[in-house]
Structure formats: C-alpha cells, structure tokens
Structure 1
Amino acid sequence: MYVIDFWRPVLKGAQRRARTMDLEYLKELPVYLARDQPYVSTFLLALGSFAVVRVVYQTLSVLLQTFIIPGTNLKRFGSTKGAWAVVTGASDGIGKEFAFQLAKAGFNVLLIARNKQLLDSTASDIATKYPGVSTATHSINFAKADEHAYQSLSTVLNRLDVGVLVNNVGKSHAMPAYFVDTPKDEITDIVAINVNATLHVTYAVLPGMVQRKRGLILNIGSFAGAIPSPMLATYSGTKAFLSTFTSALAEEVRAQNITVEHVNTYFVVSKLSKIRKASALIPQPGAFVRSVLSKIGLPCGAGYSGRPGTSTPYWSHSLLDYAATLLGLPSVLISYTHGLHKDIRRRALRKQEREGKKL
C-alpha cells in the first residue's frame, strides 16, 4: 500500500514527460523527414496530394452527373419506333408515374399489376392524355403467381417489341420487426414479389432485347439493399439481391447494346413507404421518375460505391449515397438504422393500440 503510494507521483511524472516528448517528436517529425529523409517525405506528400485530388475529382464527377450531364436519350430504346415499355406495379405510385412518363416519351405501354380495375383506369387515363400511344394491361398477383401465371404473362410479352422494362413491383414489411417475429407468409410474399417476379419477367423479356440488340431494364432498388437494415432483414436482403443481380446481368448483355440499371432509391412518397408528405429527401413520384429517365447510364451518387450497374439519380439521394460512400461508416449506419426502426415499430404498435381501443 505504502509502496504504491510512494511510486504513484513518480509514475505520473514519467507519463507527463513521455507525453511531452511525444508531442515534441511529432512537431519535429516533418522537419526531420524533409531534411534527412527526402524520399519518404516526397512519397508521403505525393500520396496525400493524390488522395485530395482523388476526392475532389470524384466529388466533381458526382455533382456534374447529378445536376448537369444528361443521360442516354430514350430514343435509343425505340421510343419513336413503336417499341413498348413494360412496367410492373403500374397501378399506382412510382410504377404509375413511370407508365405516364414513358408514354409521354413515345412508348406504347403495357401495365402489369394485381388490381385489374386500377390498371384499366390508368391505361384509360394514359390513352386520353397521349392518344398516339397504345396501351395494354395484364393482371397478375406476383405473390401467388405459379408457373401457369408466368407462362400466360410470357405469351403476352413475347408478342411485343419491348424496348424498356421497369421492374418496379415491390413489397416491404407491414412494420419493422425482428426476423424471428416476422410472419412467415410476409417473408415468402416479399421474396416472391421482390425477387421471383423480377427474375421471371426479365427472363421473358430479355431474349427479344438480345435479338433486337436494343433494350433498357430498370430494377428499382433501395438504400436498404446497400446498407443492411435490421428489423427489415428480408426486404433488405431482397434489395441487395437486386443490386448484385443487376451488376452481373449488365455485364452479360453489355455487348448486345442493352442497358441494365439498378436504381438506388431512398424514400419516395408512396403506399410502399407509407409517407405522404414530400421533402428535400423524399420526392413525389413524378420528380423521382423524371430524374431516373433523365439520367439513364449515369451512376451519379453511386459512381464510387463499388456497386457497378447502380445509379442513384435523384439529387438528394445521390448526395446521400455519395456521402455514405465517402465517409465509409457502414457499422454506424447499420446501428443508426436499427435504432430508427425500433422507434418506428414502437410508434406503429402504439397507433395500433389506440385504433384498437376505438373499436
């Protein structure tokens, strides 16, 4: 006890001197390197300059692509030659907006979704607004679709000159929940809609595009596929699949003049997101779709993310994606997302409880 007390001030003094020496050493290090180790100092200076120039170049590239440089013209995919645009999940939200804007660009449109009444209404509205465009609909429940249902859809698709395919149909969880607490039918429906539907529809459309050596496939993704999202594990996994599938397929068909693009998306006002109010980070479907169609072929904020074939075209989503890549803090973002989803679940459960008391 007394020995320890005796040495304690001695040890503290030694620690202070060591820290002082470290600071003095660090202060003198640049002088030492410049004077006695010129090759090392030159290398470090060059390395630092390269890092700065690289960040500046990447940032300018992202800004130019996001705000100034136009994407590939849709005429390349047959918009003025009678080609068709096929849109899944086309009865409302983002899918409906894609159908309208592709019709405006000159494409005939085939609308695919579950609700035939909504599809027919949308097709009628498009035909009224763009009388020179042909419209068609096909009703299919992707959550329950079997081989016969997909064969029926393939028969319809094989008759068309498809220039654009928008794999937009998607499903998320009713509310954030841990995987072990997620209903099994919700898991299977999410996989069936987000993965199987994309594979089947793409498989039906792609041979014709390869034969014509022309085509555009847009797979609508999510930030949840780039940043793992606890309490949305199944949805997050299916969106990560879309990103990887798109990267591989894009490379396979590049030589056939076919563009395959994974559209990385943050929140958009829609039924899927359950968000009704737009903001700088959350656009209306119209603004979002315009950005997608005007930036075809440009990665924008996803350009340096290590996800080839991915584009993040909407301006605020683009900057957010690039910032996440630049900061490189995936574990922090995953933890933040986990906390956010726990809070969303608590609020959703409280809302359910309040509504239950009203009945």
Structure 2
Amino acid sequence: MDSYVSKPLAQLLAGVGLLYLSAKVFSYLRLLASLFLLPGASLSKFGPKGSWAVVTGASDGIGKEFALQLARKGYNLVLVSRTQSKLESLATEIKSANPKVETKVLAMDYSANRDSDYEALKALTSDLDISILINNVGQSHSIPVPFLETDPSEMNAIITINVTGTLRTTALIAPGMVSRKRGLILSMASFGGVFPTPLLATYSGSKAFLQHWGTALGAELAPSNVTVQVVQSHLVASAMSKIRRSSAMVPTPKAFVRTTLGKIGRSGGSQGIAYTMTPWWSHALMQWVVGTFVGTMGYLTLGQNKTMHESIRKRALAKAAREAKKQ
C-alpha cells in the first residue's frame, strides 16, 4: 500500500521539480537572448530626428553621455544641470560635432526645489516637440553613513533631487508626449532600490520609490503610446560612484549609455518587473542570480550589503583622517 501511494507522489514531485527546473532554464535563456541577441526598440519609434530630448543632470557622467549620444543620433537637446559653465561647454562640444543639432541649456539646482526654476523649464520646453526625457539627475550620500547619523541637509537633498525633481520634471514634459501619442521617459534608478542597502538607506529608499513610481507610470502612459523605462544598474565609473577605473562590472558611462539606448524595451536582468530594464550584461547576470537563487530582500543579501558598505565607510573615514593630518 505504501509503495502504491509513494509512487504517484514521487512522480508528482518529479514533475514539479522538472517544471521548476525548466522555468529556470527558460528564464536564463531569455536573459541571454535579451542581453546578447535581441535588439531594443529604435529611437525613431519615439520621435523623429530633429525632435528634442531633455536630459537632466546633463553636465557630467551618464547624463553627459546621454546628451552626446542622442545628439549623434540627430536629436536636439535641452540640457539641464546645476553649473552654467559646464552646460555651455557641453553645448559647444555637441554643436561642434553635430552642426545641425540645436541645444538649449538651463542651469538649475534641483536641491533648491524653486518654483521659478520649474517655470523656466516649462517656458523653455513648452513649444518643443520633445520625444525623449532622460531623468538622470540624482544624488547619493557622500560616504556610506548610518541613517541616524545622516546629516539632515544631505537627507533632504537626496529626496528633493531624486524624487521631487524627477516627479516635477516628468509632470512638465509628459503631457506633450501624451498629446502627440509618442515618447520615451527613461529614469535612472539603481540597484540600491532593488537591494535594500544599509548605510545608504535614504538613497536606497529614494531609488526604490522611483522603481515603483516608474512602473506605475508606465502602465498609465502605455495607452497613450508613451514608453516608460526604469533603468537599473550597479556601479558605473562616474563622479557619483567615485570609481574612475572601469571593468566588466563597472562600465564607462559611454559603454553603459550605448547599451541602454540599444536595448530599450528589453528587460535584461529585470525579468518580471514591468517597464524596467537592466541593460549592462554583468549587472543583469548578477541581478538574475541573486533574484533567482538568493532573493533581493532576504537576510543573506541584506547582510552582505551591510558588511560591504561598512567596509567602504571605514576606508573612507580612514582616508579623511589621513588627509586631515596633512593639513
């Protein structure tokens, strides 16, 4: 009797196991196809050459690369960042390399959250055919820091720039896209929003907000033929990451942006997360492995993240102490 019962049970368990394994294999093959085989949507889907792209945080790093590469593809640029001189230098560089491309610049400190700045942005963009919005402006902590030791001004700046700035800019630009029935809204998120990150708690929370907001916005705007993409990434060699040397795990802004613009609509490592993409191959593989076998919000991942950032903080404080002694 026992053998009669156990045989069907064993067959059932074997079948469930086979289905589970098949699902994981399919997910992995889908990941590889998304990263290495399948192209993303053409940018012309969102608007023709000669229409406009708005890039926030445009003067350095990833934002600057988005501006340069979109200009090479024939889009006119509205460049928004804090420093007027950097914006003017970038506009000159773009014009020199792409004589037919027009540029407009707006020096705007997103941390100040001034109504007058947003009114100036509205006046600058209201009559333009804007096809692409790159929400790139952002700020992290100067070094990893426990939440209870976080400077209130730093905390407020992170939330104001990452959250309020992105929302207010999108609220200005998106209505024109909806009326034209086309457009791309691309918002830079972070693995800090996917993997809760101790010692970067405020930054991590701000990026988690952008993930949920962007996914919800994508569903709202899809009927108007406006595409929303939340872009997830690990580290990129930039001023924000404080990493200068690139590697397989830390791409240059140029390589990262090129890959991102070539993979619009492909999930990469963000399988199962609507309107989201993780385009860089090593980031995507890491996200898939952790999400599939460990869990992005479990104690193991959280503990590893905490240990890593405690080590980063310790080194940063030691460096600051050494530099203080030299003065």
Q: What's the TM-score once normalised by structure 1's chain length?
A: 0.88
Q: Whole-Å Cα distance in 2 between the matches of residues 41 and 334 of structure 1?
A: 36
Deviations 1:83-142 (A, max 9, x none): 101100000100000001111111111110000100010011011111121111111000
Match of 2:38 among 50, 65, 69: 69
* Residue in structure 1 matched with residue 277 of structure 2 by the alignment: 311
Match of 2:52 among 79, 84, 89: 84
Counterpart contact for 1:79–1:105, Cα < 8 Å: no
| Counterpart mapping for 1:170-181 below 5 A | 170-181=138-149
Classify 1:37/1:352 alpha carbon distance in 2 versus 1 (closer, same or farther; 3 Å). closer
Q: Secondary structure at the match of 1:143?
A: helix
Instruction: For residue 36 of structure 1, report the CA deviation from its aligned partner.
Output: 4.3
Residues 1:277 and 2:245 aligned together: yes
Deviations 1:168-227 (A, max 9, x none): 011000111111111000000001110011001000001000000000001101000001
Q: Whole-Å Cα distance in 1 between the matches of residues 294 and 318 of structure 2?
A: 35
Instruction: For residue 37 of structure 1, report the CA deviation from its aligned partner.
Output: 4.0
Q: Whole-Å Cα distance in 2 between the matches of residues 227 and 95 of structure 1?
A: 23
* Residue in structure 1 matched with residue 11 of structure 2 by the alignment: 42
Match of 1:95 among 45, 63, 66: 63
Q: Secondary structure at the match of 2:110?
A: coil
Q: Whole-Å Cα distance in 2 between the matches of residues 278 and 79 of structure 1?
A: 33
Q: Secondary structure at the match of 2:113?
A: coil
Counterpart contact for 2:218–2:229, Cα < 8 Å: yes
Task: In structure 2, give the amino acid aligned to 1:44.
Answer: L
Bigger CA drift: 334-343 or 143-152? 143-152
Deviations 1:140-159 (A, max 9, x none): 00001222221121121212
Instruction: For residue 241 of structure 1, report the CA deviation from its aligned partner.
Output: 0.3
* Residue in structure 1 matched with residue 303 of structure 2 by the alignment: 335
* Residue in structure 2 matched with residue 353 of structure 1 by the alignment: 321
| Counterpart mapping for 1:168-317 below 5 A | 168-304=136-272, 307-317=273-283
Q: Whole-Å Cα distance in 2 between the matches of residues 145 and 237 of structure 1?
A: 19
CA RMSD of aligned residues (A): 1.3
Q: Secondary structure at the match of 2:112?
A: coil
Q: Whole-Å Cα distance in 1 between the matches of residues 159 and 101 of structure 2?
A: 34
Q: Whole-Å Cα distance in 2 between the matches of residues 43 and 338 of structure 1?
A: 41
Residues 1:322 and 2:291 aligned together: no
Q: Secondary structure at the match of 1:303?
A: coil
Q: Identity rate of aligned residues, in percent? A: 41
Instruction: For residue 271 of structure 1, report the CA deviation from its aligned partner.
Output: 0.3
Q: Whole-Å Cα distance in 1 between the matches of residues 311 and 13 of structure 2?
A: 46
Q: Whole-Å Cα distance in 1 between the matches of residues 146 and 25 of structure 2?
A: 41
Task: In structure 1, give the amino acid aligned to 2:278.
Answer: T
Task: In structure 2, give the amino acid aligned to 1:117.
Answer: S
Match of 2:95 among 121, 127, 131: 127
Counterpart contact for 1:173–1:235, Cα < 8 Å: yes
Bigger CA drift: 125-134 or 233-242? 125-134
Instruction: For residue 160 of structure 1, report the CA deviation from its aligned partner.
Output: 1.1
Q: Whole-Å Cα distance in 1 between the matches of residues 98 and 293 of structure 2?
A: 45
Q: Whole-Å Cα distance in 2 between the matches of residues 132 and 323 of structure 1?
A: 45
Q: Secondary structure at the match of 1:172?
A: coil
Task: In structure 1, give the amino acid aligned to 2:47.
Answer: G
Task: Name stretches of at least 5 consecutive residues in structure 1 with no aligned partner.
Answer: 1-31
Q: What's the TM-score once normalised by structure 2's chain length?
A: 0.97
* Residue in structure 2 matched with residue 55 of structure 1 by the alignment: 24
Q: Secondary structure at the match of 2:184?
A: strand
Between Structure 1 and Structure 2, how many residues are aligned? 325
Task: In structure 2, give the amino acid aligned to 1:169.
Answer: V
Counterpart contact for 1:78–1:107, Cα < 8 Å: no
Q: Whole-Å Cα distance in 2 between the matches of residues 174 and 243 of structure 1?
A: 22
Match of 2:76 among 81, 89, 108: 108
Q: Whole-Å Cα distance in 2 between the matches of residues 242 and 345 of structure 1?
A: 25
Q: Whole-Å Cα distance in 1 between the matches of residues 115 and 154 of structure 2?
A: 21
Counterpart contact for 2:56–2:135, Cα < 8 Å: yes
